Amino acid sequence: MSGSFTAIGNEAYLTLGNFFPNTQHTYSLSYPGGVRQLADYYLDDVSVEEVQIAKARNDTLIYQGDSVIIGKNKGEALLYNWQPTAGLSCTNCPNPKASPSVTTTYTVTKTQCKAVTSDVITVTVSPVGIRDLSYWNEVVGVSPNPVNDVLNINFKSNEMLKQVQHDCTIKITDVLGKEVLWENYAEEINISTLENGIYFLSLYKNNQLLITKKVVKQ
């Protein structure tokens, strides 16, 4: 005997049968002259499993060469399939590591019992060298500050310097936001013609802001 049941969402419980001891599984009736057994049944090998839908996490941003864990699933024994396969550490595990070279949308399909669910996540890959402001403010400095004539832009490593040598521009504004200097990137910026005061130096790559530093001209 077999069957199936699909919940509609407002059920409180599902009765599968009774789990009485074996001695209580026999129904009998007494007749004149003896006892006649009417039914004998058993219930075993029953399992109940909550179906968890596939989860691919929220869309995320990484930088070229970085990686991120995608998926928020439990249950190693369940069946998973991730597509496409490019940049994944595995394609049949719950939560693989993704290292795509370009922006990629991944789909995870999960099979649990007879239930098949899926979810998607888009991993956006930012161009080489473009990171958030807090990162660049840590690896880039300006000196001397206060400055008289020539302002130097310093990087913590040559690798960081290589990432801004092309397609980078420098803009300096005063405290009112007025642009007083705009030129292609250079390690030394001559600001001798500026009046004494407070300025803000901004470094851009492909028109995206990397850093803003306060500079005092004296």
Question: Per residue in 153-208, pLDDT tens?
Answer: 887 766 566 666 667 888 998 877 788 998 888 888 899 999 999 898 888 877 77
Domain 60-126 bears CATH identifier 2.60.40.10: yes
Helix (H), strand (E) at residue 164:
none
**What is the CATH number assigned to the segment(s) 133-217?**
2.60.40.3080
Main-chain dihedrals φ then ψ at residue 140, nearest 5 degrees: -120, 135
Task: In whole angstroms, give the CA distance from residue 131 to residue 66.
Answer: 11
Whole-number pLDDT of residue 24: 63
Q: Which of 33-47, 50-64, 75-89 has the lowest mean pLDDT?
A: 33-47
Question: Per residue in 4-51, pLDDT tens?
Answer: 777 777 877 777 666 666 666 555 555 566 555 555 555 555 666 778
Hey, is 172 helix, strand or coil? strand
More confident site: 46 or 87: 87
Q: Are 60-126 and 133-217 in the same CATH fold?
A: yes
Overall average pLDDT of the 122-128 stretch: 72
Is the bond leading into 127 cis (omega within 30 degrees of zero)? no
More confident site: 78 or 169: 169
Overall average pLDDT of the 102-120 stretch: 89
| Residue extents of the structural domains in the chain | 60-126, 133-217
Whole-number pLDDT of residue 128: 47
Percentage of the chain lying above the pLDDT 90 cut = 25
| Sequence-distant contacts of 198-202: CB under 8 A, at least 24 apart | 198/174, 199/172, 199/173, 199/174, 199/175, 200/172, 200/173, 200/174, 200/175, 201/142, 201/151, 201/170, 201/171, 201/172, 202/170, 202/171, 202/172, 202/173
Overall average pLDDT of the 79-95 stretch: 94
Chain position carrying tokens 């059920």: 11
